[in-house]
A and B are shown apart, each in its own frame.
Chain A
Amino acid sequence: MAAEAAAKTAAKTAAKTAIHRLSGMQKQVLSLYRGFLRAARSKPQQDRFRIESIVASEFRRNALQVDRKNFLYIEYLLRRGRKQLDQLKSPDTTGLSSVDPSSRTDH
């Protein structure tokens, strides 16, 4: 059963800036990312690949779009991401799908 993967949390580091120490929030983001990748390992290979692609692109999309100082929103994304990760860890879940808000049509 697919779990919805909405927007995830932002990764704070830009590739070119020097990273000396990770902030607490950055660590949480990376920890969540790692959690998703670990959970994906336990899924069948095809599902694993798909999960990894979706998670990778969601995290990077947020890294670009979310202001790194928008702590409230980032914390919200972290909370939501953790819930989704819990769902993903269930053996019944074999994949994620992501919804692109811009592709919604309004009735």
Chain B
Amino acid sequence: MAMKAAVLRHVRLPASAAASRTLGLASPASGRWGGVFGSVFRSLSSHGDDHLSKDEVVDRVLSVIKSFPKVDPSSVTLDVHFQKDLGLDSLDNVEIVMALEEEFKLEIPDLEADKIDSTRLAIEYIYNHPMAG
């Protein structure tokens, strides 16, 4: 209990997903403490304040796609298919997924990236990704 309170005092950070993720790495004995800090922090954040809300994911995904040069922003909706509806080709699809990687600071493996071909799938993947920032 005392330990938890002591840790809590140290763990009060400004709302910043990046800061929370680097917390464990900052300590010199990061191997052991990183694990402890990491797991303590995760168990304390009961409201998931260290990952993005659905609304935020939706907004940012749609905005990335709307700003893609070959896309007509007015045709971008919540469930639109990049190739079938927006008239893009598979190379554009690769570019879009990479733009999403940069927006959310992720690296998406080829296997998954090949499947993301609509706004709906992009939103779903990113929202469910624990590291999306």
Binding site for B on A (CB under 8 A): 11-16, 18-19, 22, 26-27, 30-31, 33-34, 37-38, 56, 59-60, 63
Contact = CB atoms under 8 A, between A and B. Distances in A.
Interface stretch (B25-33, B87-95, B122-130): B87-95
Interface in B4-60: none
Interface string B86-106: 011111011100100000000
A15 B87 contact: yes
Contacts of A31: 110
B120 to A, nearest CB: 16
A12 B114 CA distance: 14
Nearest to B102: A41
B89 A63 contact: yes
A55 to B, nearest CB: 9
B83 interface: yes
Given A22-B114, A30-B114, A34-B110, A13 B98 contact: no
A59 B94 CA distance: 12
Interface residues of B, number: 15
Contacts, number: 47
Nearest to B107: A38
A101 B83 CA distance: 31
Contacts of A34: 94, 98, 110, 113
Contacts of B110: 27, 30-31, 34
A63 B91 contact: yes
Contact of B114 (A18, A27, A56): A27
A11 B98 contact: no
A56 B69 CA distance: 13
Contacts of B90: 11-13, 19, 22, 26, 30
Given A19-B83, A31-B110, A34-B113, A59 B88 contact: no
20 contacts: A11-B89, A13-B89, A13-B90, A15-B83, A19-B83, A19-B84, A22-B90, A27-B110, A27-B114, A30-B91, A30-B114, A31-B110, A34-B98, A34-B113, A37-B98, A38-B98, A56-B91, A56-B95, A60-B89, A60-B91
